[in-house]
Structure 1
Amino acid sequence: MRASRLLSLLLLLQTRGRMTAPELAAELEVSVRTVYRDVEALSAAGVPVYADRGPTGGYQLLDGYRTRLNGLTSEEASSLFLAGLPGPAAELGLADVAATAELKLLAALPPEPRSHASRMRERFLLDVPGWYRSADDVPHLSEVAEAVWGQRPLHMTYRRWGRQEVDRVIHPYGLVLKGGSWYMVAVPAEAPPAEVVRGEAAPRTYRVARILALETLSGRFQRPEGFELSAFWREYAKEFRERMYTAEAVIKLAPGYGDLLAYTMGADVVSAAMAGAGDPDAEGWLTLRVPVESITHARWLLLRMGAGVEVLGPPELRALMCDTVAELTKMYE
């Protein structure tokens, strides 16, 4: 356990430069006193780590010192190869680079981790798009990626929902791959005053497949300090789900239909509804309150359940279900 922590401390100093003892303690989830002991152990082992005193001081490695990549365990090495996605790498124009990096990493590993990593690559595959849908056509993805990396502004023609086309000059902050679709997180170069908070425009998301034309502009933009793509995306996804579900359906679910309902309406939604449900009735039916996008949309989803679901409310949804069933009955009589 301590050997693994010492390696983590060494790699932190190697990748981040100078770090204070409290910063290292927070990263390693240990006490500051433990950090002091670990740094002494590294120094005793010949690692050129030294401390700068004062309020701006901290620990750092001697300039030019690099450790070899030989501290990976078999499981850690395997996980790196499992994380490689050849499809997205190719879409970003990095297929050859990723393949070369993989070969170099394999060559640098000792025999046992190399064997584990090779088996991982042979036996596991990550296929991002869902069933019955293909990945988006994204001819402008590599150009967007270059602009994100180089902090270059972009002028784009973009097709919004409803097929409306708009022209935008944007500053791209990052790219996210979600369910087989690429999304660009960016801010308009000239945002309306209502969308500016503390002197900065709020980031928006754009589906890369909807970019119709793209031009990389001259100059560079400045990324705001403290912006973290992963944190932004987590918050955006949470708010998106909250905006999407604007109504609620009260239903009775027949025994054995839980998996079908989860497939139809989403596992997270149904799991939350199940958690708030009471005990089943004498025949095993559960009463659930399920969030839905709209009454109309809920009608089509719940019709898939057949006789496995009875809609109790709201009254307009129950009426819609009755009308649809009556139409189907008339059609098939």
Structure 2
Amino acid sequence: MIRVLFFSVRASRLVSALLLLQTRGRMTARELADALEVSVRTVYRDMESLGASGIPLYGESGPDGGYRLMEGHRTRLTGLTTDEAGALFLTGLPDAAADLGLGAVAAEARLKLSAALSPELRERAEQSRQRIHVDIPGWYQDSDETPRLAGAVSAVWGRQRVRIRYERWATPHEVSRTVDPYGVVLKAGRWYLVAGSARGVRTYRVSRINELEPLAETFTRPAGFDLAAHWHEYLATFDTRRFLDEAVLRLSAEAFAGIGQALEPAAARAAAESAERDADGWIRVVVPIESVERALPALLSLGAGAEVVGPPPLREKMRRTLAEMLARYEDGLPAKE
């Protein structure tokens, strides 16, 4: 088994070396060694093997030397492996590929795709890579730590039922669920597991999965289930499901102008649609909220340019919070003479 694996790895490396020479032209032994992550001595042996197998390869000595394929030669060893084919959609998303453990595989797929292109198209693809970069996470936030992601993806591919221990916002905060993993979604730098359960199709943030145990059972994926279509529908109804109440606010013109920076997009849109100007020039709006506790920090960020009119529990919570803040600052003031 070890011997078969050795030859498989070496064969893959020889193909990679050949494709590198085809796509980049002349390369020194050091450049090849760095690209293949092997020693220069290994590169010398590999080049000898390629030449002995009939590949029209020659080496040049000197400062401008290196290895080169004969003019006009193009290898047809560009067939993708199963893993490489599966990683094609990630070739432009290196961070996502790395999260899934497919960073090296996606790089290999890119190399093979590049080798299959004409020189003109290859140059265009390289220019695009140098000019367009996709950075998934939003501003001022790091990507989630997702130690259970690899296990979740493995279960998705194997159609393997899993038991998860999941931390959620509602009480009880930690629950155990047995689910059928249908797919994973990357949204704003965060990975989500979409899975079937006794309660229907549910979405779980992967970073909040504390344990993931593969079970011996497999499942049948529902006929016609489309992950992208499901996700779009999930997003379309997401705000409706989580916004369970409304808040009535009075805003100064300045606070109203900056509401998009303080509140979520759905709340900012609702404010714009419901805006009515008072006789004193302030603007009365109605915005959706999840709960009193979750609404309070965002509304406090609006500062003195905002007044909570209702509901009464939110107004009272705001009043008590501001009174406590004021008392704390007053206690820290120097005594008046």
Q: TM-score with structure 1 length normalisation?
A: 0.63
Aligned residue in 2 for 1:23: none
8 A Cα contact 1:81 1:121, kept in partner = no
Q: CA deviation at 1:174?
A: 0.7
Partner of 2:322: 325
| Conserved 8 A contact 1:185-1:203 | yes
Contact 2:148 2:209 survives alignment (8 Å): yes
Map 1:225-304 onto structure 2 (within 5 A).
225-258=223-256, 260-278=258-276, 280-281=277-278, 285-304=282-301
Structure 1 gap ranges (5+)? 1-79, 196-201
Structure 1 residues 152, 292: closer, same or farther in 2, change over 3 A? same
Q: Give the partner amino acid of 1:177.
A: L
Would the aligned equivalents of 2:184 and 2:193 in 1 still touch at CA under 8 Å?
yes
Please say which of residues 141-150 and 230-239 is displaced more in the overlay: 230-239
Deviation at 1:289, TM superposition (A): 0.8
Q: Name the CA distance, whole Å, in 2 between partners of 1:115 and 1:122.
A: 11
Residues 5-56 of structure 1: CA distance to partner in whole angstroms, max 9, x if unpaired? Answer: xxxxxxxxxxxxxxxxxxxxxxxxxxxxxxxxxxxxxxxxxxxxxxxxxxxx
Percent of residue pairs identical:
47
- Superposed CA offset, 1:199-245 (max 9, x none): xxx11222222333334344532111121112222232333322221
Counterpart of 1:229 in structure 2: which amino acid? L
Q: Paired residue for 2:137?
A: 129
The normalised TM-score by structure 2 is 0.62
What amino acid is aligned across from residue 254 of structure 2 in structure 1?
G
What's the counterpart of residue 203 of structure 1? 201
Q: 1:313 aligns with which of 299, 310, 315?
A: 310
Conservation of the 8 A alpha-carbon contact between 1:82 and 1:124: no
In the comparison of the two structures, how many residue pairs are matched?
243
Superposed, 1:44-193 pairs within 5 Å as: 84-161=92-169, 165-188=174-197, 191=198
- 1:171, distance to aligned residue in structure 2 (A): 1.6
Q: CA deviation at 1:110?
A: 4.0
Partners of 2:275 and 2:284 within 8 A in 1: yes
After superposition, what is the alpha-carbon deviation per residue over 1:291-318, rounded to whole angstroms, capped at 9, x for unaligned?
Answer: 1112333333211111221223233333
Task: Judge conservation of contact 1:82–1:125 (CA < 8 Å) in 2.
Answer: no
Shift, 1:160, TM fit: 4.4
Separation (CA, whole Å) in 2 of partners of 1:146 and 1:312: 51
Q: Per-residue deviation at 1:93?
A: 1.3
Unmatched 5+ stretches in structure 2: 1-87, 331-337
Superposed CA RMSD in Å reads: 3.0
Whether the 8 Å contact between 1:253 and 1:285 is mirrored in structure 2 is yes
Tell me the SS of whatever aligns to 1:153. Answer: strand
SS across alignment from 2:299: helix
Larger radius of gyration: 2
Deviations 1:266-305 (A, max 9, x none): 1232123202324x45765322111111233333321111
Deviation at 1:92, TM superposition (A): 0.8
